[in-house]
């Protein structure tokens, strides 16, 4: 994400069809998680958001109930084109993958015990881990020089990754702590 300076954001999406097609394209590439593909499309390719804006919108999406990718689509679409944009981005994100998943589920039921199918699934899981790590590293770059942000990120990793605390508890606790610390460090 650090590849795109905030001053170099481009024009916003021009239409609901552009949002629909962009999120349809993202969803059809994002086996195992959409975050890496959303970030690449929205920040680096389309330049609709700066890395910092992306991180902020992603953070809000993360604390909302439901899948983060869906929340992100709705928030981004609404940000640029209102309710119509939110609906278009969400429909693009869900329509094609839903149809594909129904077809794959029918096939999988027939071939789930074939060793090659099981091996392919393990390989896809490993590739997904690589995408998540790469995206996390890009997002972490936006925290450069922000001691509070880095501390919250490390605490979050330690609490969930090492301490195995529930994500909801950690998000609520560290979210409130982050707001309080930001408020204290920027008095009016």
State residue 2's pLDDT score: 46
Query: Residue 133: pLDDT band by 50, 70, 90 thresholds?
Result: confident
DSSP 11: P
State residue 1's pLDDT score: 46
Distance from the first to the final alpha carbon of the chain: 30
Domain extent listing, the chain: 1-110, 115-142, 145-188
Query: Residue 123: pLDDT band by 50, 70, 90 thresholds?
Result: confident
**DSSP of 25-44:** HHHHH-TT-SHHHHHIIIII
- Residue owning tokens 């693009």: 92
pLDDT in tens, 35-70: 889 999 999 999 999 999 999 999 899 888 889 999
Nearest to 11 by CA among 48, 62, 50, 56: 48
Q: What own/partner pairs with CB < 8 Å and gap ≥ 24 does 73-77 have?
A: 73/23, 76/19, 76/42, 76/48, 76/49, 77/16, 77/19, 77/23
Structure token pair of residue 53 = 């804006």
Is the pLDDT confidence value at 187 over 80?
A: no
Mean local confidence (pLDDT), 166-173: 89
Mean of per-residue pLDDT scores for the chain = 88
φ/ψ (deg, to 5) at 69: -60, -40
Structure token pair of residue 95 = 């329509």
Percentage above 70 pLDDT, the chain: 94
> Model-level pTM?
0.64
pLDDT in tens, 141-169: 888 888 888 888 889 989 998 999 998 89
């Amino acid at each position: 994400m650090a590849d795109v300076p905030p001053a170099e954001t481009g024009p916003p999406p021009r239409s609901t069809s552009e949002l629909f097609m962009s999120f349809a394209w993202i969803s059809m590439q994002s086996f195992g998680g959409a975050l890496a593909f959303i970030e690449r499309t929205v920040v680096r390719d389309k330049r609709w958001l700066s890395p910092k804006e992306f991180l902020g919108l992603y953070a809000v999406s993360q604390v909302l109930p439901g899948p983060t990718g869906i929340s992100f689509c709705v928030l981004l679409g609404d940000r640029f084109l209102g309710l119509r944009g939110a609906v278009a981005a969400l429909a693009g994100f869900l329509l094609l993958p839903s149809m594909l998943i129904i077809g794959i589920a029918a096939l999988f039921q027939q071939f789930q015990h074939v060793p090659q199918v099981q091996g392919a699934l393990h390989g896809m899981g490993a590739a997904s881990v690589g995408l998540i790590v790469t995206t996390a590293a890009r997002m972490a770059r936006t925290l450069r020089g922000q001691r509070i942000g880095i501390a919250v990120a490390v605490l979050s990793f330690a609490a969930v990754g090492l301490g195995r605390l529930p994500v909801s508890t950690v998000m609520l606790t560290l979210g409130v702590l982050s707001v309080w610390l930001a408020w204290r460090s920027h008095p009016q």
